[in-house]
Amino acid sequence: MNKHHYVVIMAGGIGTRFWPMSRTNFPKQFLDILNIGKTLIQTTFERFASFIPLENIYIVTSDEYVNIVKKQLPHLPLQNILAEPSRKNTAPCIAYISFKLNQLDPQAQLIVAPADHLISNNIAFVKVCLEALSFVRKHNALITLGINPTYPNTGYGYIQYEQHSVSDNVYKVKTFTEKPNLELARTFIASGEFLWNAGIFVWQVKNIILAFEKYLPEVFDLFNSQKEKFNTPEEENALLEIYPFSTNISIDFGIMEKADNVYVIPSSFGWSDLGTWNSAYEHLHKDPKANAIMGNNVMLVDTGNCIVHAPESKLVVLQGLQDFIVVDTGDVLLICKKDKEQEIKELVGDVKRQKGEKYL
């Protein structure tokens, strides 16, 4: 293992589209979504622990989830669990870890990854990560991992890339497009020039800091003004000074779509962002009528192509349903057409307005 290789796992989101299973006080990254005996953050941690030194693995999460991370990742050094005082999207999160690591190791090469993605081929994933780390060690490059698309998914961002590689399997990025409509997604797939954006990035820490200075100077100035306090007892106070004034913006919008040194590695390692119930459905065991059932007391009659999640103690009988999401958490029952799952986020907003925070 290389002592200059680091990873930061981002675990501060609330997973609204997995409501009602994912809640504000216990979001999806801490759940065993796929019924495999491990939570999403545990599988992500284990994946990186296979090739990144343990002391170089960091978790950035909301301060309210620190104790959950401690419990689920007991082998992780406590000082590697970093707590954000407020949610400000991915750019400030990445600025935080970058300035912190730059103080510790100016040669640091960093992988940035969400905590809640599914990767089924770990060997292929590690190979791509090591290729990316090797490339950024030699070049001032910001690498994103692109997934070879299999169908016109409208829930993913797309990356257009040059057709001639600059190195083995590394290509210059031309454009980013966020979540296109179905017609545009079909055009992208047909062209052969587009990849899904996996939201996994690789770069030298010093180079992403230069990109912050150039493209997000207001964020750069905030973190730069407090950098001497990182890795000292004053770090927490520094964050309390920074975060109230920091822009709420993603790294994609803030830097990756603007920078001229962005590259992509086309990849196939069984990736899914597990952003929705349908994406989980694709990876769950199905019965002969294509129902994915989570719960030992579920009875289905004339029901097909559904995903059902129910408490072990509750008998759930469904009759005559086709293409539905049914999630019972005890205090909330959600019944939603599978093709309307993108509206779950809006439904959560309606629940908040009409019922308050109790069910969120």
DSSP state of 106: T
Query: Residues for the chain: how many in total?
Result: 360
Confidence of residue 175 (pLDDT cuts 50, 70, 90): confident
Residue with tokens 């690591």: 101
Q: What does the alpha-carbon distance between residue 14 and residue 62 come to, in Å, rounded to a whole number?
A: 10
Q: Is the omega angle on the peptide bond into residue 106 within 30 degrees of 0, that is, cis? A: no
Q: Write the pLDDT tens digit of every residue in 223-247.
A: 999 999 999 999 999 999 999 999 9
Listed in sequence order, the DSSP H helices in the chain are 40-49, 66-72, 90-104, 122-138, 182-191, 205-215, 217-225, 235-242, 251, 277-281, 344-355
Confidence of residue 167 (pLDDT cuts 50, 70, 90): confident
Q: What does the alpha-carbon distance between residue 80 and residue 313 come to, in Å, rounded to a whole number?
A: 38
Q: Which residues of 110-133 are buried (b: 16+ CB within 10 A; e: fewer)?
A: bbbbbbbbbbeebeebbebbebbb
Q: What are the angstrom distances between the C-alpha of 48 and each of 40, 74, 114, 147, 355?
A: 13, 15, 12, 19, 40
Predicted pLDDT at 96: 97
Q: What does the alpha-carbon distance between residue 109 and residue 101 come to, in Å, rounded to a whole number?
A: 9
Q: Write the pLDDT tens digit of every residue in 114-127.
A: 999 999 999 999 99
- Statement: residue 113 has pLDDT above 90: yes
Predicted pLDDT at 35: 83
Tokens of 105: 């190791």
Q: Where are the domains of the chain?
A: 5-275, 278-355
Q: How does DSSP assign 45-103, residue by residue?
A: HHHHHTTS-GGGEEEEEEGGGHHHHHHH-TTS-GGGEEEESS---HHHHHHHHHHHHHH
Tokens of 256: 């990756």
Q: What does the alpha-carbon distance between residue 7 and residue 41 come to, in Å, rounded to a whole number?
A: 13
* 67-76, 93-102, 170-179, 332-341: segment of lowest average pLDDT: 170-179
Residue closest to 95 by CA, chosen among 225, 196, 270: 225
Q: Write the pLDDT tens digit of every residue in 7-34.
A: 999 999 888 889 999 999 999 999 998 8
% of the chain surpassing 90 pLDDT: 80
Largest Cα–Cα separation, the chain: 64
Tokens of 337: 């057409």
Residue with tokens 């050094």: 77
Predicted pLDDT at 226: 95
Beta bridge partners of 224: none
* C-beta separation of 113 from 10 below 8 A: yes
CATH topology of domain 5-275: Spore Coat Polysaccharide Biosynthesis Protein SpsA; Chain A (3.90.550)
Exposure of 326 by Cβ count < 10 A (0-12 exposed, 13-18 middle, 19+ buried)? buried
Residue type, 66: V
State whether residue 359 is helix, strand or coil: coil
Q: Could you tell me whether strands 109-114 and 262-267 are parallel, antiparallel, or unpaired per DSSP bridges?
A: unpaired
Tokens of 53: 């030194």
DSSP state of 191: H
